[in-house]
Amino acid sequence: MHPTMRRVQSGSILYYTCDKLPVRHAFTTKFGGVSTGPCESMNLGFGRGDAEETVRENYRRLCGALKMDVSRVTMTKQIHEDEVTVVTEQGVGMGLWQPMAWQSDAIVTALGDTPLAGFYADCVVTLLYDPETHTCGVCHSGWRGTAKGILGKTVDRMAASLGTKRDSLIAVMGPSIHRECFETDSDVPDAMEALLGAWVRPYVAEKGVKFHVDLQGINAALLCEAGLNAENVIDSGICTMCEHETFWSHRVTNGVRGVQAGVICL
């Protein structure tokens, strides 16, 4: 685990924070909600078999612990693409309190008191914050989104639409599956190299007929290419598959699970 990461217990709610982010934020775990069955207990995703009201109650409890306004929680749409949306007042509450109207794995904003939530159960969720312009974002990137460069595109959108300063922007990659556990067939590294170029090769380890891909390393490189300073790019160092007692891992559960969220709020 990176030395800036902190494990926080608030009543029954367990989450992680990063000292580099001086705004309210969290990377959640399985614990602290009211869900039951395979989603027990802090499931923050719809479509996992939970009743909608149960999921909303989990958000109420989480936002109570984080001192965030649950009525303004705004969510990404996890479809493994590279669309980035700027959240304005009209979009506040999207996904939780009003029907989802965008196809965006990344959302960014300059609005105050507006929690942004992106979801993970192995994929990389990155929280972004610029202290110079007081703007923030959340980006979900599995291997497909990583190959499409969504994290760099999120930085570009923040700079173009919100005036975010690249040299002061901070990015924290949350708990996610790491290279030692992320075993794939050749199609994954082949697709990543086809879309990103040969520079990704050092981030892929070949082990027999299988491959192990360093999603965090590739995303960190994409962030630096987008103009961030290396010291402002943090990998939590927490592997969801290794730590599957604390986090849902898609690979460990074969998809029968809840989801965690990375949440950030100005």
User: What pLDDT, on a 0 to 100 scale, did the predictor assign at position 93?
Assistant: 98
Q: How far apart are CA 139 and CA 76, in angstroms?
A: 8
Burial call 219-244: b when 16+ CB within 10 Å, e when fewer? bbbbbeebebeeebbbbbebbbbbeb
Rounded to 10°, the helix 215-225/150-162 angle is 30
The pLDDT assigned to 103 comes to 96
CATH code: domain of residue 138: 3.60.140.10
Query: What gap in Å lies between CA 233 and CA 173, rounded to an integer?
Result: 8
What domain range includes position 99? 5-265
pLDDT of residue 89: 98
For the chain, the domain total comes to 1
What does the pLDDT read at residue 106? 98
Tell me the CA distances in angstroms from 201 to 141, 159, 214, 223, 235, one per residue in order.
Answer: 19, 29, 10, 17, 20
Tokens of 220: 């960190």
**Which contiguous run of DSSP H or E holds residue 64?**
helix 52-66
Per-residue pLDDT, 184: 97
Consecutive 10-residue averages of pLDDT for the chain (266 residues): 98 98 98 97 96 97 98 97 98 97 98 98 98 98 97 98 98 98 96 96 95 98 98 98 98 97 98
Q: What was the pLDDT predicted at 262?
A: 98
C-alpha to C-alpha distance for 96 and 109, rounded to whole angstroms? 17
Rounded distance, CA 179 to CA 182, Å? 5
Q: How far apart are the first and last CA of the chain?
A: 25
Tokens of 163: 């005036």
User: For the whole model, what pTM was predicted?
Assistant: 0.98
> In terms of C-beta density within 10 A (0-12 exposed, 13-18 middle, 19 or more buried), how is residue 187 classed?
exposed
